[in-house]
Amino acid sequence: MDPILEILEKDARLKPEEIAKMVKRNVVEIKKLIQKYEKERVILRYKTVLNKELLRNSSEVRALIEVKVTPQRDVGFDAIATRIYQFPEVRSCYLMSGGYDLLVTVEGKDLQSVASFVSEKLSTLENVHGTVTHFLLKKYKEDGDILRSREEDKRIAISF
């Protein structure tokens, strides 16, 4: 992968001037490359990763849902995956190997809203043959970022 993309993926706040110094290239060239990547949709958007556990008013629920589906003739899994990922509750959708076909990440304001999504929208789709829902209880690391730092042990060490 292009070192410029690796740098931006780790910290999208860096300015082209800083990136140019890091990769020892011309600033104008860096700006043009970034614009090219944006135009070609290699760079889709710039994102902030939040530690929502530290926000007082954040009580969203996230679930991972294993989905078994029947692929359709001539389009395979793409048509059903497209129907699923267009729901606003769906944060991500992946085609998987193994015991199920799709892995869908869903967010809702509470447990009931996620359960309603699964029972009323997802499970009722024509080619969906089964779902297994796993609710996330606690996040330790997300997108490469550790969300909680280890608390220091404040006890005094005693030795005999």
Retrieve residue 115's tokens.
């359960």
115 and 74 in a single domain? The answer is yes
* DSSP type of residue 25: -
pLDDT in tens, 126-145: 999 999 999 998 888 887 88
Q: Which long-range contacts (CB under 8 A, 24 or more apart) does 1-5 make?
A: 2/33, 4/30, 4/33, 4/34, 4/37, 5/37, 5/42, 5/43
Q: Helices (DSSP H) in the chain: which residue ranges?
A: 3-10, 16-23, 27-39, 78-85, 111-116
**16 inside domain:** yes
Residue among 51, 69, 56, 72 nearest 147 (CA): 51
**105 inside domain:** yes
65 and 106 in a single domain? The answer is yes
Question: Stretch 31-44: mean pLDDT, rounded?
Answer: 95
Retrieve residue 14's tokens.
């860096």
88 and 120 in a single domain? The answer is yes
pLDDT in tens, 112-129: 999 999 999 999 999 999
* Domain membership of residue 79 as a residue range: 53-139
**57 inside domain:** yes
25 and 65 in a single domain? The answer is no
**130 inside domain:** yes
103 and 125 in a single domain? The answer is yes
35 and 59 in a single domain? The answer is no
34 and 57 in a single domain? The answer is no
**150 inside domain:** no
Q: What is the pTM of this model?
A: 0.76
Q: What phi and psi, each to the nearest 5 degrees, are found at residue 101? A: -100, -45
62 and 130 in a single domain? The answer is yes
Residue 52 confidence (pLDDT): 73
Residue among 61, 50, 38 nearest 137 (CA): 61
9 and 66 in a single domain? The answer is no
End-to-end Cα spacing for the chain: 55
Count: domains in the chain: 2
Residue 80 in contact with residue 34, Cβ under 8 Å?
Answer: no
10 and 68 in a single domain? The answer is no
Residue 105 confidence (pLDDT): 97
**79 inside domain:** yes
**132 inside domain:** yes
Question: Stretch 57-62: mean pLDDT, rounded?
Answer: 80
Neighbours of 100 (CB within 10 A): 17
**20 inside domain:** yes
CATH number of the domain within which 121 lies: 3.30.70.920
Report d(CA 119, CA 131) in Å as an integer: 9
